[in-house]
Amino acid sequence: MKQSIFYLVLVFLFTNCKKEEGRFIAEKSIYKVTFNLNWNSTNFPLDYPVNAHFSKVIGWSHNSASTLFKEGTIASVGIKDMAERGSTNPLDVEIASKISNKEGHQLVVGGSLTGGSGSIVLDSVEVTKTFPLLSLVSMLAPSPDWYIGVLDVNLHENNEFLVEKTVDIIIYDAGTDSGVTFLSEDSISSPQQIIKTFIEAPLGNGIKLNKVIGTVTFVKQAEM
C-alpha cells in the first residue's frame, strides 16, 4: 500500500512538472490586437478633415534585425504607397519577400476605420520565439504621407509570451510628400526624406502631439 502511494506521488509530481515546463517551451502564440483610435476635432481641432479615417492595418511579426519602418531610414515604395494612398500593395509583397528570406514570420493585414474614432480588431496575429516583435501601421487619412503605427512591440519577455500589453500609437511622417496639412496638394519630397515621428501642426506643436491619438492592446489567445 505504501509503495502504491509512493508511485502515485511520483506520477503526480512528474505530471505537474511537465505542465510547469510547458509554460516555458511554447514556440509561438496567437494574439488578439485592438487599435483604439481617438482622432477627433476636440483634441486635434486645426484643419480637422470632415472625412477623417484610417486605412487597412498592415504589418508583420519579425525580430530585432529588421529595419522595415525604422525611423531614420528611407521609406520603401510599399511604405510610400501605404502612407500616401492607404494601399496595402506593394507593401504586402515587400513583407512577404522578407518572410520568404526568413526575416519574419507572419504578414498581417487587417481592417480599416471609416471615421477618426473607433476600433480596429485583428483576431489572429501570430508571433514566435524567433520572431517575437510586431510592427503594424495604417495611413492617417486624408494626409500627405502621415501614418500611425506601433513598431517593434516585443510580446516575448523573460522566456514567456506576455498575457497582455498596451502601447501608445505613434504618428509617423514617411518623408515622401512635403504637404503641410491634411488636404495639401501632392508635393513630392525631393530628395526623399527619412521616416520620422510626426509632431508638427496640424497634429502637434513641433514638440509633442496635442494628445495621444490612440492605443493598441495585445491580448494572448493561445500558445503552442
The pLDDT tens digits of the residues spanning 63-80 come to 999 999 999 999 999 999
What is the pLDDT at residue 18? Answer: 40
Name the domain count of the chain: 1
Do the domain assignments include residue 176?
A: yes
Dihedral sign of CA atoms 185, 188, 189, 195 in order: positive
Q: Is residue 186 part of a domain?
A: yes
In a domain, 15, yes or no: no
Q: Is residue 16 part of a domain?
A: no
DSSP-derived secondary structure letter, 194: B
Contacts of residue 140, defined as CB under 8 A and 6 or more positions apart, other chains included, come to: 39, 54, 146, 147, 148, 171, 213
Domain assignment of residue 106, given as a range: 28-223
Is 45 inside any structural domain? yes
Task: Indicate the burial class of 189 (C-beta count within 10 angstroms; 0-12, 13-18, 19 or more).
Answer: middle
* Domain presence at residue 9: no
Burial of 130 (0-12, 13-18, 19+ CB in 10 A): middle
10 belongs to a structural domain: no
Residue matched to cell numbers 516583435: 133
pLDDT of residue 98: 98
Q: How far apart, in Å, do the first and last CA atoms of the chain sit?
A: 39
Given this model, what pLDDT does residue 138 score?
A: 98
- Give 72-113 as a DSSP string: TSBPPHHHHHHHHH---TTHHHHHHHHHHTTSEEEEEE---B
110: phi > 0 → left, psi -120 to 50 → alpha, else beta; which? beta
Q: How far apart are CA 99 and CA 217, in angstroms?
A: 24
What's the pLDDT score for residue 152? 98
Q: Is 1 helix (H, G, I), strand (E, B) or coil?
A: coil
| Nearest C-alpha neighbor of 33 from the set 200, 165, 145 | 165
Is 131 domain-assigned?
Answer: yes
- Select from 143, 138, 142 the least CA-distant residue to 176: 143
Cα distances from 131 to residues 21, 55, 83, 92, 223, in angstroms, run 21, 25, 25, 18, 14
Smallest CA-to-CA distance from 53 within 70, 65, 78, 35 is with 35
Domain of 156, CATH number, reads 2.60.40.2130
Q: Which residues of the chain have pLDDT under 50?
A: 1-23
